[in-house]
Amino acid sequence: MSLWVDKYRPTSLGKLDYHKDQASQLKNLVQCGDFPHLLVYGPSGAGKKTRIMCLLRELYGAGVEKLRIEHQTIVAPSKKKIEINTIASNYHLEVNASDAGNQDRVVIQELIKTVAQSQQIQSSTQREFKVVLLTEVDRLTKDAQHALRRTMEKYMSTCRLILCSNSTSRVIGPIRSRCLAIRVPLPSTEEVCNVLTSVCKKEGLLLPPELAKQISEKSGRNLRKALLMCEACRVQQYPFSADQDVPETDWEVYLRETANAIVSQQSPQRLLEVRARLYELLTHCIPPDIIMKGLVTELLRNCDGQLKTEVSHMAAYYEHRLQLGNKAIYHLEAFTAKFMAMYKKFMEDGLEAMMF
């Protein structure tokens, strides 16, 4: 527990640094000792998980923090064994069902049912329900999500579900309607700066406000990343200087270079080079949709107003296909090629307009 991220993570709803209104609402929600199924969503690094854990602590007391990792083996109907790790306390169970890949439906069905079906023995001392925390719900397959629908209703008396996802767009409607949706937005730049300063203070360090601002901007207001960056800065150089360079994640740098390569030249040969880079990104476990998003963000910086809408439209089109398909590289490359064609045409048109 020595990274700052872990060390200074708030553990109760009262201690949360930002979105205090929401925190108090959550407190009120569990005041009566019960709550509906929750769907907590928001971008990564906004503090969804922290909030959920605070909520659970509010509900069950410090006992939720005694966690253990359990390896579970589930046998699918096809006799295939699925290994999955769960993190559990006496009161709740956390599962990332998307670890099971295509077999996540089986995991949902089996695991949640066994948890939900078992009644609490001593309901006088404990709550009468357990909580199942499902993370990365948006990466669940449709089958698994459908498998969840009935389970949610059927075992309402013994179990509450908290679903945690990055966006609701990939959660099917029936599930959204069964849950109380809680959006956890990213903290604002000031909030990030405040958190960084207070953490540094606790560490006995002095953080110049300029650096804090720079970090929070570079991290894209992702608090986890901001804290890590801050710590990396600390390791790199202390005392801090205001214009220190902030270390970045490699994949972002690489993606930016790729985007630059696309903009600088448009030809099949360049496309071949870009393909190699895209493969590189994919093999470093960067999800294709994030590659696509990052690529578009970088490319849009080089586009004119008119082209911007077209490019984003194409990006949405190919991203959708990417979700439907299986081989991400085809769709990423298709987007790249399309962009190249569009950009080239745009540039040539612009050149002609200049000539005449």
Give least dist CB 177 to other proteins, A: 26
Applying the rule CB under 8 A, the residues between 96 and 155 that interact with other proteins are 96, 99, 135-136
Give least dist CB 159 to other proteins, A: 19
Among 29, 95, 229, 315, binds other proteins (CB under 8 A): 229
Give least dist CB 325 to other proteins, A: 4
The verdict on 345 binding other proteins (CB under 8 A) reads yes
CB of 208 or CB of 325, closer to other proteins = 325
CB of 231 or CB of 298, closer to other proteins = 231
Give least dist CB 5 to other proteins, A: 8
Q: Backbone dihedral region of 300: left (phi > 0), alpha (psi from -120 to 50 degrees) or beta?
A: alpha
CB of 18 or CB of 318, closer to other proteins = 318
Which residues make beta-bridge pairs with 75? 81
Residue 251: CB atoms within 10 A of its CB come to 16
Q: Residue 115 in contact with residue 145, Cβ under 8 Å?
A: no
> Which pair of tokens denotes residue 214?
């720079």
The verdict on 35 binding other proteins (CB under 8 A) reads no
Beta strands in 65-183 (DSSP E): 68-75, 81-88, 92-95, 130-135, 159-165, 180-183
Applying the rule CB under 8 A, the residues between 303 and 332 that interact with other proteins are 318, 321, 324-327, 329-331
The verdict on 53 binding other proteins (CB under 8 A) reads yes
Q: Backbone dihedral region of 307: left (phi > 0), alpha (psi from -120 to 50 degrees) or beta?
A: alpha
Q: Residue 42 in contact with residue 52, Cβ under 8 Å?
A: no
Site string for other proteins, 242-281 (x = CB under 8 A): -----xxxxx-xx--x--------xxxx-xx--x---xx-
> Which pair of tokens denotes residue 227?
């804290």
Q: Residue 151 in contact with residue 123, Cβ under 8 Å?
A: no
Which residues make beta-bridge pairs with 174? none
